[in-house]
Amino acid sequence: MNRHELSTEHADLRAAVETFARTEVAPVIGDFYERGAFPYDIIAKMGQMGLFGLPFPEEHGGMGGDYFALCLALEELARVDSSVAITLEAGVSLGAMPIHRFGTEEQKKTYLPKLTSGEALGAFGLTEPDGGSDAGATKTTARLENGEWVINGTKSFITNSGTDITALVTVTAVTGKRGDGRPEISSILVPKGTPGFSVGQKYSKVGWNASDTNELVFEDCRVPEANLVGERGRGYAQFLRILDEGRIAIAALSVGLAQGCVDESVRYAHERQAFGHSIGAYQAIQFKIAEMESRTYSARLAYYDAASRMLAGEPFKKEAAIAKLIASNAAMDNARDATQVFGGYGFMNDYPVGRFYRDAKILEIGEGTSEVQKMLIARELGLPA
């Protein structure tokens, strides 16, 4: 992949998802959003398009594509709505990817076909009520007892964890102590319906209202020892690898929201009349939209570069952090400016920019806060830890 150009396959995919987002998602998603309802029909259509299988091999039901293809799809979906985009992002990079990257062949055969087809969703239980950005401070525990993991603990803010089509959650848990006294953290797969595993009440959120987010509770939840994902004690390291990739995906989603703000502002600037002219004729509006487009363009190049390095097998941790930082900032800044362009109408939920404004802030928090990204960048530059 050229770092600044799309292949024919990627361009065709981007165009197909753009059309789907404009014709299938845009006309109806506002209603789902205001009701806080999960858009099952839209998700099913995305599954039929193969979007949930984009970066996975055909032998496990995937499309045989790459991670950049997923990013392009996320960008186009987020130009219209972030709830749908985050459902795809979490379903792929957090739900299915840990199994693909670290699971046994039996786990892959059992779970990936339904996850990659979109028939089922997976979730990743990492964040805890008292943990936040300190993911290493895991309090959830899992002990081996008679060939079973007995899990106890609580996870918070978990996407795709409580839908009717959720099939499993992979949780991080303390499974012992290392030689240096630090906790040994492992990843364990817990199927939906397992006794002792319950889904808490759905959160009341500022944004992403058409996506699913819940608290998860484990009370003496027992699963087979074979449900360990990857090596025992490597759960935290595995999670870091998943997050590095996921930051590129969130950057792409952020670019989509930022571009959606530009799209809506350009359209409105032509339509809205003030003082005898369309507001787009005024330099103040022109400059604001020009800045919005410049932020979006720069952020897109950043995630393209990070994705290309990842696909080439090159180090990409710093570039992923930079892309996520730049793109989430662009999304937040553009959402604020688009609301200003729309004036009072920008504060109304009747217009997409109202959703964009509500959805943008979480992009500076999820998958690592902006402060965490700066910390990672500083470490990659060799500054003292």
Q: Identify the burial level of 326 via C-beta atoms within 10 angstroms of its C-beta, where 0-12 means exposed, 13-18 middle and 19 or more buried.
A: buried
Find the helix or strand (DSSP H, E) in which 223 lies. strand 213-224
User: Quick count: other Cβ atoms within 10 Å of Cβ 294?
Assistant: 12
Q: Can you tell me the distance from the alpha carbon of 143 to that of 202, in angstroms, rounded to the nearest whole number?
A: 28
Q: Can you tell me the distance from the alpha carbon of 256 to that of 327, in angstroms, rounded to the nearest whole number?
A: 9
Note the Cα 48 to chain centre separation in Å: 20
- Residues catalogued as catalytic: 367
Q: Can you tell me the distance from the alpha carbon of 71 to that of 82, in angstroms, rounded to the nearest whole number?
A: 13
**Terminal-to-terminal C-alpha distance of the chain:** 34
Q: Can you tell me the distance from the alpha carbon of 299 to that of 123, in angstroms, rounded to the nearest whole number?
A: 27
